[in-house]
Structure 1
Amino acid sequence: MPQSSSGADAAPRDGSPTFVLVHGAHSNAAVWSPLVRELAFLGHRALAVDLPGHGVDAHFPLSYQAPQDLAAFAAQPSPLAELTLADNVAHVVEAVRRLARFGPVVLVGSSAGGATITGVGNAVPELLGNIVYASAWCCVDLPSMADYLKTVGHPGVPLPMINWRTADVDVLAELKHGLMAEATDEQFMAWLNTVEPTEAPQLLTADAQVRADTWGRVPHTYLRFSRDEAIPLAMQDRMIAEADRLTPGNPFAVHTVDTGHVGMWLHPTEIARILTDLTLE
């Protein structure tokens, strides 16, 4: 038997879960802060991951600062142009491998983070106790997020650069309606100031399809966000139904939260209790 090189490598498994939380596009680990707090209050470990090029490695062009140079900002290519979905998956797989030494891992993704957690489920199903989609993309019959968007008339064109610091009240109202309609203006602005202007343009079109022989072996859960305008409820239900047809012996466990796209920011206590109940089933 090989010898461990350090005490950390020989860490004991205590059987309790660790929640690994994966953000979506233009986001970072901060979006999970309220949920990490509530999980901790319930006695759980949780790691909110910054995907490559996000969080402490985020890019904020000078043209994005104040005063803004909107022409220069619009003309700038994304600094994440070379980043791929495979890079995101490898990054999360590494975190899952390190945490699986302590016990089961529950992998949670929101929005475009669904593509990443699907890739992790395809790659290392044996390390996962559950895969949870929090109003997240789960590509089953179609290969990419862009393909699903095209079915509802969206061009599926990536938005690698977004000016979240706009002062245009009409744009802000549209963003709030689409992402956080039930939030107060103060809650919306607090969240808005955590998001990032740059994203990898190819993530939307990358192949993120689930595989029945790998992903399909892992228990999976879908948290339907009933007020979501970014991934409307009909789209969420479509992906759930497709997955259930693919793995009829292992269907989605489904829970509904009365919230919009960024529900984990506004309803962390409710979502934490749902996640805790998953570990008791």
Structure 2
Amino acid sequence: MSDMTEANDTDDAGVSETANNDRRSTAPTFVLVHGAGSNSFGWSPVSAELAIRGHRVAAVDLPGHGLGGHFPLSYQTPQDLERLRTEPSPLGTITLADFAEHVVGVVRRARRNGPVILVGQSMGGVTLNAVANQVPELISHLVYASAFCPTQRATIANLMTTPEGSSSAVFQITAIETPPELGINRVNWRSGDPAFFQIAKEALAADFPDEAVRALLNTLEPDQSAAISGTDARGLPETWGRIPRTYLRFTEDRTIPPALQDLMIKEADELTPTNRFRIRSLTAPHIGPRDPGPLADELEQIARLCC
């Protein structure tokens, strides 16, 4: 009897381990890509919500961001605004190719555990395009969370000069005037100017309370490579265009207005008419909904559809 019990226990353990391995091989990993001036912390509420629900999540820091971010000495307190205009930044040499190389590495590692759902927000969308052009076979689904998705127009700059992009509140955010040779766009998110605060709030999180907006601004990074918005980032039909994709429209976005989101969706669908965007709308400003639940719900639904 003892021998039989031990054999049954072993068999049960083997079956259980096999079942766990099967679940691991079919459960997706969400790889989350942040936008300009942000970092992986921007995904923290959604990452935590997905993790609590039992999902695998990897929020990446793009090169020059997060713990690798650059905060000029002149950006610290007390600020030296004159020096802030000329202080060099390592982000001036970073390219979209660097972003893509980093995320491709993350996707390759995540893919060992099962399907990958690649999610980008805002400027993170062009990194999605670049990664999808390189390794479409490693990505089960692309998700653009109010993100740039150039297809027929080559760059973010091209998209922002359309009539649909011209109303963007981001044009009202005063950038630090830096010499072109620095190769960066620099914003003083720590400005004490009440007018700047109101403009930033309007662009990023108009319906958030002031306290939440101040907390947000303290997580943002001052420097962004100027090259990113001018780099050809078109999704190519033979690579990017064969991956199933979802666009999460943020209906209260004042940085990428809904009209511009719709233009990008339309142009992408025209490029690949047999593989069109699945479209969902969320009542949210540019940084996403205050409650991460609805966004996590949408990502869970995508996981059920694709994996």
- Pairwise TM-score range, normalised by the shorter structure: over 0.9
Deviation at 1:274, TM superposition (A): 0.4
Return the alpha-carbon distance in structure 2 between the equivalents of residues 22 and 280 of structure 1.
Answer: 21
Q: Are positions 1:117 and 2:141 aligned together? A: no
Aligned-partner SS, 2:25: coil
| 1:6 aligned partner | none
Contact 2:89 2:184 in 1 (8 A): no
Aligned-partner SS, 1:279: helix
Deviation at 1:118, TM superposition (A): 0.6
Q: TM-score, normalised by structure 1?
A: 0.92
| 2:234 aligned partner | 209
Q: How does 1:12-31 map to 2 (within 5 A)?
A: 13-31=24-42
Identity of aligned residues (%): 47
Q: Are positions 1:43 and 2:67 aligned together? A: no
Aligned-partner SS, 1:110: strand
For 2:202, which of 162, 174, 177 is the aligned residue? 177
Contact 2:91 2:184 in 1 (8 A): no
For 1:148, which of 159, 172, 186 is the aligned residue? 159
Contact 2:116 2:139 in 1 (8 A): yes
> Could you list the runs of 5+ residues in structure 2 that have no partner in the other structure?
1-20, 176-182
Deviation at 1:159, TM superposition (A): 6.0
Q: Which amino acid aligns with 2:157?
A: A
Q: How does 1:235-250 map to 2 (within 5 A)?
A: 235-250=260-275
Larger Rg: 2
| 2:12 aligned partner | none
| 1:163 aligned partner | 188
Contact 1:79 1:198 in 2 (8 A): no
For 1:268, which of 292, 297, 303 is the aligned residue? 292
Return the alpha-carbon distance in structure 2 between the equivalents of residues 267 and 233 of structure 1.
Answer: 20
Deviation at 1:187, TM superposition (A): 1.2
For 2:148, which of 132, 137, 148 is the aligned residue? 137
Return the alpha-carbon distance in structure 2 between the equivalents of residues 97 and 177 of structure 1.
Answer: 38
Deviation at 1:151, TM superposition (A): 2.0
Aligned-partner SS, 1:14: helix
Return the alpha-carbon distance in structure 1 between the equivalents of residues 247 and 209 of structure 2.
Answer: 26
Return the alpha-carbon distance in structure 2 between the equivalents of residues 87 and 100 of structure 1.
Answer: 20
Q: Are positions 1:230 and 2:255 aligned together? A: yes
Return the alpha-carbon distance in structure 2 between the equivalents of residues 14 and 41 of structure 1.
Answer: 20
Deviation at 1:146, TM superposition (A): 0.6
RMSD, aligned CA: 1.8
Spell out, residue by residue over 1:76-118, the C-alpha distance to the aligned partner (whole angstroms, 9 max, x if none): 2433111000000000000000010100000000010000011
Spell out, residue by residue over 1:236-275, the C-alpha distance to the aligned partner (whole angstroms, 9 max, x if none): 00000111111111100011010100005x2311000100
Return the alpha-carbon distance in structure 1 between the equivalents of residues 232 and 136 of structure 2.
Answer: 18
For 1:198, which of 223, 226, 238 is the aligned residue? 223
Q: TM-score, normalised by structure 2?
A: 0.85
Return the alpha-carbon distance in structure 2 between the equivalents of residues 268 and 78 of structure 1.
Answer: 33
Q: Which runs of 4+ in 1 moved over 3 A?
A: 152-159
| 1:4 aligned partner | none
Spell out, residue by residue over 1:157-210, the C-alpha distance to the aligned partner (whole angstroms, 9 max, x if none): 986111000010011001101110011111111111111011111011011001
> Could you list the runs of 5+ residues in structure 1 that have no partner in the other structure?
1-10
